[in-house]
Amino acid sequence: MSNGRIGHGSSHPGYELAMLIPRAEIQRRVAALARRIHRIYDNQPLVVIGVMSGALFFLSDLLRRLEQPLQVELVTLRSYRGKSTKPSKIQWIHRMQADVAGKHVLLVDDILDSGQTLATVLRTIRRQKPLSCRTCVLLRKERAEKPKVEADWIGFPIADVFVVGYGLDFDGLYRNIPDIAVLQQK
């Protein structure tokens, strides 16, 4: 992982970005995760549920690499509000519409922090009695307190820092950066 400074046109006053994971490393890891997931499910149909909006880029890249028949479902929850860098109470914006009873389900999210987002969505999925339900996250924060749930597949463990890029945002900005960067106050 790199720790050089990166610039980006849509910056936030008082903050700077420090490179954490470059785009090439992200793409290699996404490809490796897709291979591992495919080995588990082989060619069995799979319902992939993505948590928006943070998982948008990760989900898209992962889906293009999975080889089995897929149904894609999106849910939207919010735990960070505005300029906050700490999660708050989960708020559903868009709930799951698919019937996943008796199906294999893969839940994809951008980052595992406290685990409250994954735990919330998993409760909803498990009420429908899927055949199986596994989780995949791009990032997992290494924190002193354990998350409410663990992910089955993790792209990268990271320090307990606030990150942006590759779908992750701060106050609506930085999602379109193709790398993952630490957002630091100047």
Q: Residues of 133-148 as b/e, b for ≥16 C-beta within 10 angstroms?
A: bbbbbbbbbeeeeebe
Strands 180-185 and 15-21: antiparallel
Q: Could you tell me what percentage of the chain is helix, strand and coil, using 3-state DSSP and rounding each to the nearest 5?
A: 20, 35, 40
Closest CA to 102 of 125, 121, 124: 125
152 a catalytic residue: no
Judge contact between 1 and 157, C-beta under 8 A: no
Judge contact between 116 and 92, C-beta under 8 A: no
Residue 133 Rama label (left phi>0; alpha psi -120 to 50; beta): beta
- Of the residues 61, 110, 113, 179, only one is catalytic, namely 113
Helix (H, G, I), strand (E, B) or coil at 137: strand
The residues assigned a catalytic role are 113
